[in-house]
Amino acid sequence: MTRNASIKKVLAQDYQHGFVTDIESDTFAPGLNEDVIRRLSAIKNEPEFMLEWRLKAYRHWLLLEEPHHWANIKYPNIDYQALAYYSAPKIKKDGPKSLDEVDPELLRTYEKLGIPLYERERLAGVAVDAVFDSVSVATTFKDKLAEKGVIFCPFSEAVHKHPDLIKQYLGSVVPTGDNFFAALNSAVFSDGSFVYIPPGVRCPMELSTYFRINAANTGQFERTLIIADRDSYVSYLEGCTAPMRDENQLHAAVVELIALDNAQIKYSTVQNWYPGDAEGKGGIYNFVTKRGACRGVNSKISWTQVETGSAITWKYPSVILQGDNSIGEFYSVALTNHYQQADTGTKMIHIGKNTSSTIIAKGISAGYGQNTYRGLVKVMAGADNARNYTQCDSLLMSDHCGAHTFPYIEVKNNTAQIEHEATTSRISEDQLFFCLQRGLSMEDAVSMIVNGFCKEVMKELPMEFAVEAQKLLGVSLEGSVG
């Protein structure tokens, strides 16, 4: 009796971030062709090389097929001609120089999300590059970063100010034709973040971007490029949330990371986009290509992700371990509730000698959620003494959900050491009873047990982000036992 009542109560909790901000949008009519791309590029006043790059990607995209056939996800066909490919909030011509110049409606939106910009600035010392729909409207802490020579700016700005870096690195990790969604992104990406850390610099603060999808029917195509030059370090945080919508929204971002000799990049994501309602209606389609290249010797790239949102998640943050002694890490929590589907994992490609990789993937399935881990560990012939440790744990919260694990291992060098461990378990009745008997509510009990299950991943997140992620797991899950 008590169990069912509390489950119902929690399931009735609405998505907290479901509201739409009323900012006038300047939006293209739906449709995609070369003219649309030219217009997009023209609006952004892009140099010729960018337009060419986009067109090349577009032509490649036309030849590619959606990855329906191999991913363990189901969704109706997306009509790419029915989507609009540009939407910008109206802002003052020169862009805001301080928060006072930012649309107050936008600031209120952040407040509702619990992340007022100035609060974050002041409390956490985080520089926030706020992406609202497709155009960056607020960039902070620039001066402090500039002092160290760190570049952290909207992608569209980097195209103008740092064309050489863009030309050298854009598409060097995720080529334009890499996959269907990456090609689409390359053709029509709206904006995103660009980061460059100069040699020998430890970035003095966590860099953070908050994304938010707003205008109806507009695909969101972010592009992020982070370069850590030799002996540098940067930690980058990405957090997302979206207002409630009925129609599905497509999101196809591309993130490229490049670490040169002895450089380290730590990239953390908390993804909380609208997952659809309890019946599986609505929600974001999240088709992301994230890849890092450890180009230099002794370089290191760590991906940490907590994925609780989206109707569909298709995402494999990967590391190419090119430099000798380089290290790749992937720490992931993926949660699917109601009718959410996630097909996520990583690829670790060992090319250099003495390279090592660690994969810790925690999948939580509730309701009718389907959760798939898909991982590839590939050791090339020249990768002497490569090591990988993979641990995949699945936690089931209901009788109707599913957990699936597809580990692929390809080894072409017999000095490799590969370890794989996997477990699947149901949330323990004993643990739940113990927590309830000590006075905790069912909600808190589930949240605590699940957070405990995810601890190895959560501890990789920067402190303030971890707190947010913990709450998120709570809200997304509690009461879904049954």
Partner 1 sequence: MIGEKMLTIKNLAATVGDKIILHDLNLTVKAGEVHAIMGPNGSGKSTLGNVLAGREGYTATAGTVEFLDHNLFALSTEERARKGLFLSFQYPIEIPGVTNIYFLRAAVNAVRKSRGDEPYDAMDFIKLIKEKAKFLHMDEGFLYRDVNKGFSGGEKKRNEILQLLLLEPKLAILDEIDSGLDIDALKIISDGINQLRRSDRAIILVTHYQRLLDHVIPDYVHVLSKGKIVKSGGPELAKELEQTGYAGL
Which residues form the interface with partner 1 (CB under 8 A)?
1-3, 5-6, 428-442, 444, 448-449, 451-456
| The token pair that represents 161 in the structure block | 């100010």
Residue with smaller CB distance to partner 1, 5 or 123: 5
Nearer to partner 1, 234 or 446 (CB): 446
Q: Which is nearer to partner 1, 321 or 435 (CB)?
A: 435
Q: What sections of 151-244 are H helices per DSSP?
A: 155-161, 163-169, 180-188
Compute the least distance from the CB of residue 137 to partner 1, in Å: 38
Question: Smallest distance from the beta carbon of 190 to partner 1, in angstroms?
Answer: 39
What is the DSSP annotation of 382-440?
T-TT-EEEEEEEEEE-SSS-EEEEEEEEEE--TT-EEEEEEEEEEPPHHHHHHHHHTT-
Ramachandran assignment for 149, one of left (phi > 0), alpha (psi -120 to 50 degrees), beta (any other): left
Q: How far is the CB of 135 from partner 1 (least distance, A)?
A: 41
> Strands 300-307, 318-321: parallel, antiparallel or unpaired by DSSP?
unpaired
**Minimum distance between the CB of residue 434 and partner 1, rounded to whole angstroms?**
4
Smallest gap from Cβ 393 to partner 1, in A, equals 10
CA angle 353-329-65, nearest 5°? Answer: 95
**Which residue number, 203 or 449, has a Cβ lying nearer to partner 1?**
449
CA 4 to chain centre: 34
Cβ neighbours of 42 (radius 10 Å): 10
**How near is the Cβ of 473 to partner 1 at its closest, in Å?**
12
In the complex with partner 1, the residue whose CB is nearer, 68 or 455, is 455
Nearer to partner 1, 436 or 475 (CB): 436
For partner 1, the closer CB: 127 or 469: 469
Do 176 and 207 form a contact (C-beta atoms < 8 A)?
Answer: no
Q: Which is nearer to partner 1, 298 or 451 (CB)?
A: 451
Residue closer to partner 1 (CB basis): 1 or 29: 1
Q: Cβ 269 to partner 1, closest distance in Å?
A: 21
Any idea what DSSP says for residue 173?
S
Can you read off the two tokens belonging to residue 223?
Answer: 């592009």
Tracing tokens 């090592």 back to the chain, one arrives at: 356
Least distance (Å) from partner 1 to the CB of residue 62?
48
> Could you tell me which residues are beta bridge partners of residue 305?
269, 332
Strand ranges for 56-188 from DSSP E: 87-89, 127-132, 135-139, 151-154
Q: Supply the minimum distance, in Å, between the C-beta of residue 1 and partner 1.
A: 8
Number of H helices, E strands in the chain: 13, 23
Q: Please say which residue, 278 or 440, places its beta carbon nearer to partner 1.
A: 440
Min CB(225)–partner 1 separation in Å: 35
Residue with tokens 């409630």: 244
Q: Beta strand 151-154 with 135-139: parallel, antiparallel or unpaired?
A: unpaired
Of residues 293 and 403, the one with the C-beta less far from partner 1: 403
**Least distance between partner 1 and beta carbon 136 (Å):** 37
Minimum CB distance to partner 1 smaller for 49 or for 433: 433
- 340 in Cβ contact with 401 (< 8 Å): no
The secondary structure element, H or E, covering residue 358 is: strand 356-365
| Cβ 469 to partner 1 shortest distance, Å | 14
Alpha-carbon distance of 464 to 263, in angstroms, equals 24
Query: Please, what is the angle between helix 442-453 and helix 429-437, to 10°?
Result: 130
Structure tokens at 386: 């490569």
DSSP 71: S
Distant-in-sequence, close-in-space partners of 471: CB < 8 Å, separation ≥ 6:
none
Q: How far is the CB of 431 from partner 1 (least distance, A)?
A: 6
- 3-state DSSP assignment of residue 199: coil
- Closest of 349, 436, 445, 351 to residue 397, by C-alpha: 445
Closest CA to 310 of 250, 361, 255: 250
Q: By C-beta, is 413 or 441 nearer to partner 1?
A: 441
Q: Please choose, from the candidates 313, 316, 351, the residue with its C-alpha nearest in 3D space to the C-alpha of residue 330.
A: 316
